[in-house]
C-alpha cells in the first residue's frame, strides 16, 4: 500500500468523547478539503454539519468594483473570523446559526442566509482554519490535506472558471500575486498544528475509513470505540 501518513498524532483524547465536536480541515486552495469534508459527511450520516470558511468572506459592497478586485482574498484579514468563531461556538453549544451566503462574482455578501442546525459533529473547512489561533483552538480534531501545488492550481483554474465566472488571466494573476505567497506565509506553516496530514486526496479511502471509525462512537454511543475496550 502506497499510502503514507507523514504526521500522525491523532489520539482518542477526552474531547472526542464529548457530545459535540468540531473537526477542522485545512490545506491549500484546490487541495481537496471540500471533497474530504463531503466524504466524511456522507460516511458519518445526517448528524454531521459542514460549513466553509469561504462563506465568511467580508462584505465588500461598500467598495467600488475596482477596489474589490484589488483585495487580497487569500489573507486572513479578508475573512470575518470573529463571526466564524461565534458561529462555531454556537453550534458546539447546541444552537443554530444563520450561515452567510457570499457572492464570488460581485465580491459581496448577499442578503440570504442558510440555517444550520447543531449536529454531533461540525466540520469547518478552509485554507486558513489552522492559521488563526481563535479558530484552530476550537477544533477538537485537525486534518490537513497536503496535495501537490501543480494539482491544486489545475483544480483552482477549473473551479474558478466554471463556478465563479473568472477568466484564466485573472486566475493566473491572482495565483502569482496572492494565492501562492499567502500559502507560503500562512497555510503551509499551519500544517504543524494538524493532528493528521493526508498527503494525497486520491489515497484518502484508508484515512476516511480510519477517521470514520474513530468518530462513530459520537454518532452512535453504543458502539465500542478503539482504545476504549475491556479486551
* pTM, rounded to two decimals: 0.83
pLDDT tens for 106-156 read 889 999 999 999 999 999 999 999 999 999 999 999 999 998 888 888 888
Give the range with max mean pLDDT: 40-44, 115-119, 194-198, 211-215. 115-119
Cα 36-42-46 angle, rounded to 5 deg: 125
Residue 167 DSSP one-character state: -
Q: Tell which wins on pLDDT, 216 or 96.
A: 96
Task: Enumerate domains of the chain plus CATH numbers.
Answer: 15-215 (3.40.50.300)
Dist CA 10 CA 22 (whole Å): 14
| pLDDT at site 181 | 93
Query: What backbone phi and psi angles, to 5 degrees, belong to 110?
Result: -80, 175
pLDDT tens per residue across span 203-217: 567 777 878 877 777
Amino acid at each position: 500500500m502506497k499510502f503514507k501518513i507523514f504526521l500522525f498524532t491523532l489520539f482518542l483524547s477526552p474531547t472526542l468523547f464529548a457530545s459535540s465536536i468540531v473537526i477542522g480541515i485545512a490545506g491549500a486552495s484546490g487541495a481537496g478539503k471540500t471533497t474530504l469534508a463531503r466524504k466524511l459527511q456522507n460516511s458519518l450520516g445526517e448528524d454531521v454539519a459542514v460549513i466553509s470558511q469561504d462563506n465568511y468572506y467580508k462584505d465588500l459592497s461598500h467598495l467600488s468594483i475596482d477596489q474589490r478586485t484589488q483585495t487580497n482574498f487569500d489573507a486572513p484579514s479578508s475573512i470575518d473570523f470573529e463571526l466564524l468563531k461565534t458561529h462555531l461556538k454556537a453550534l458546539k453549544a447546541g444552537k443554530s446559526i444563520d450561515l452567510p451566503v457570499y457572492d464570488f462574482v460581485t465580491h459581496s455578501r448577499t442578503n440570504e442566509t442558510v440555517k444550520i442546525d447543531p449536529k454531533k459533529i461540525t466540520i469547518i473547512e478552509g485554507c486558513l482554519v489552522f492559521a488563526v489561533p481563535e479558530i484552530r483552538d476550537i477544533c477538537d480534531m485537525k486534518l490537513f490535506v497536503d496535495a501537490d501545488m501543480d494539482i491544486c492550481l489545475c483544480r483552482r483554474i477549473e473551479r474558478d472558471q466554471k463556478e465563479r465566472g473568472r477568466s484564466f488571466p485573472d486566475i493566473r494573476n491572482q495565483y502569482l500575486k496572492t494565492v501562492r505567497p499567502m500559502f507560503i506565509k500562512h497555510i503551509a506553516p499551519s500544517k504543524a498544528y494538524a493532528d493528521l496530514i493526508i498527503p494525497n486526496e486520491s489515497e484518502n479511502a484508508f484515512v476516511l475509513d480510519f477517521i470514520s471509525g474513530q468518530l462513530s462512537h459520537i454518532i452512535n454511543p453504543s458502539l465500542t470505540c478503539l482504545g476504549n475496550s475491556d479486551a
